């Protein structure tokens, strides 16, 4: 009687996975720092980073496998599922603040435009932008976008990608409703269409980057553009993988109308990606390039 369970929680068995994740994440970060100093560490930085990345991916696999096994064992009671939802909500909130930083940078660069690069005058001990750009170049670089810089037509490839993501939001909702009604075929079909649309979005964005009329470095516009849209593109790839895992689990019959938090978390994440792109489209492509010459 003393050991009887009288609560809705479950005690996790001892696991080395959290420690493994912490150590491998540190190794990956240290390798990344080494990669920033190739003259000092050579190619060892890439090797250390790769080893850490493999460890982190292995941690993902084992830890989430444990969570899935716990769900099948009946350990995910309604209270536990509620707290899993709280955890996902806090994760998405942290992602929102991550993108707030990039939007903040974009607004700062656009409303108070200054050149990204400056030259240090060792004689005068001052920073002088004219050393790099010349008088006319400095004036051009002080605009946002820089004077003469061509930007993407917001209503060509960016609009196409917007429509693709909006459609993917509807298909993942279709899959969710099919799951709630016990329609496994609808769930699988909806996931397939969503994953394909996500892959098409990534391909279109990769092509857009390949024909970009401005560089990553040298001007605030290019740096802010590639960082904001690039991190969003990374999140689309992560979300596509997330949904692909859910598709594999759907084929195995893991989800039921009563218990499907894994899919629900993936759907939440995908809708978050959709909403962020809508803001990026309006702020970066439409408003950010307003009045600048359009790249054909």
Q: Are residues 133 and 251 in the same domain?
A: no
Q: For the chain, give the mean pLDDT.
A: 86
Instruction: Identify the CA nearest to 214 among candidates 149, 154, 290, 133.
Output: 149
pLDDT at 293: 75
Does residue 293 lie in a domain region? no
Identify the residue with better confidence: 186 or 147: 186
Q: Alpha-carbon distance 187 to 285, whole Å?
A: 34
Give the three-class secondary structure for 156.
coil
149 near 219, Cβ under 8 Å?
Answer: yes
Q: Alpha-carbon distance 213 to 282, whole Å?
A: 20
CA distances in angstroms from 238 to 83, 88, 138, 196, 198, listed in the order given: 23, 15, 39, 14, 10
Does residue 2 lie in a domain region? no
pTM score of the predicted model? 0.84
Q: Alpha-carbon distance 249 to 73, whole Å?
A: 16
Residue 120 forms beta bridges with which residues?
Answer: 127
Does residue 211 lie in a domain region? yes
Identify the residue with better confidence: 227 or 123: 227
Q: Alpha-carbon distance 97 to 217, whole Å?
A: 24
Q: Are residues 260 and 239 in the same domain?
A: yes
Assess whether pLDDT exceeds 90 at residue 222.
no
Q: Which residues make Cβ contacts (< 8 Å) with residue 153, sequence separation at least 6?
A: 294, 295, 296
41 near 31, Cβ under 8 Å?
Answer: no
Does residue 28 lie in a domain region? yes
Q: How confident is the model at residue 124 (pLDDT cuts 50, 70, 90)?
A: low
Please compute, for residue 21, the number of CA atoms within 13 A of its CA located in the half-sphere on the CB side: 11
Q: Are residues 227 and 280 in the same domain?
A: yes
Number of domains forming the structure of the chain: 3
31 near 45, Cβ under 8 Å?
Answer: yes
Q: Alpha-carbon distance 151 to 159, whole Å?
A: 14
Instruction: Identify the CA nearest to 179 among candidates 101, 243, 118, 228.
Output: 243
Identify the residue with better confidence: 215 or 58: 58
Q: Are residues 127 and 182 in the same domain?
A: no
Q: How confident is the model at residue 120 (pLDDT cuts 50, 70, 90)?
A: very low
Assess whether pLDDT exceeds 80 at residue 40.
yes
Q: How confident is the model at residue 95 (pLDDT cuts 50, 70, 90)?
A: very high
Range(s) of the domain holding residue 210: 101-112+150-287
CATH number of domain containing 60: 1.10.287.70
Q: Are residues 30 and 177 in the same domain?
A: no
Does residue 66 lie in a domain region? yes
Q: Are residues 133 and 174 in the same domain?
A: no
pLDDT in tens, 261-270: 899 999 999 9
129 near 118, Cβ under 8 Å?
Answer: yes
Q: Are residues 174 and 39 in the same domain?
A: no
CATH number of domain containing 187: 1.20.120.80
Q: Are residues 227 and 271 in the same domain?
A: yes
Q: In 36-129, which residue ranges form alpha helices assigned H by DSSP?
A: 38-41, 44-72, 78-111
Does residue 82 lie in a domain region? no
């Amino acid at each position: 009687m003393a050991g009887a369970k009288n609560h809705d929680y479950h005690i996790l068995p001892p696991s080395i996975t959290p420690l493994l994740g912490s150590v491998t994440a540190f190794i990956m970060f240290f390798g990344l720092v080494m990669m920033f100093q190739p003259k000092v560490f050579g190619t060892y930085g890439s090797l250390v980073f790769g080893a850490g990345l493999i460890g982190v991916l292995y941690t993902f696999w084992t830890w989430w496998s444990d969570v899935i096994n716990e769900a099948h064992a009946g350990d995910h009671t309604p209270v536990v599922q509620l707290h899993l939802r709280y955890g996902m909500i806090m994760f998405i909130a942290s992602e929102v603040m991550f993108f707030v930083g990039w939007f903040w940078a974009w607004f700062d660069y656009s409303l108070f435009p200054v050149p990204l690069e400056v030259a240090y005058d060792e004689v005068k001990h001052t920073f002088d932008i004219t050393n790099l750009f010349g008088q006319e170049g400095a004036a051009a670089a002080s605009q946002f976008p820089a004077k003469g810089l061509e930007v993407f037509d917001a209503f060509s490839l960016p609009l196409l990608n917007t429509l693709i993501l909006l459609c993917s939001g509807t298909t993942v909702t279709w899959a969710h409703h099919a799951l709630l009604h016990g329609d496994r075929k609808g769930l699988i079909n909806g996931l397939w269409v969503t994953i394909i649309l996500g892959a098409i979005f990534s391909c279109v964005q990769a092509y857009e980057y390949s024909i970009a009329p401005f560089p990553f470095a040298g001007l605030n516009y290019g740096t802010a553009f590639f960082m904001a849209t690039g991190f969003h593109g990374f999140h689309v790839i992560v979300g596509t993988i997330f949904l692909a895992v859910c598709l594999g689990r759907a084929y195995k019959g893991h989800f039921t109308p009563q218990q499907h938090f894994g899919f629900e978390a993936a759907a939440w994440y995908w809708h978050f990606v959709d909403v962020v792109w809508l803001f990026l489209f309006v702020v970066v492509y439409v408003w950010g390039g307003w009045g600048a010459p359009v790249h054909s």
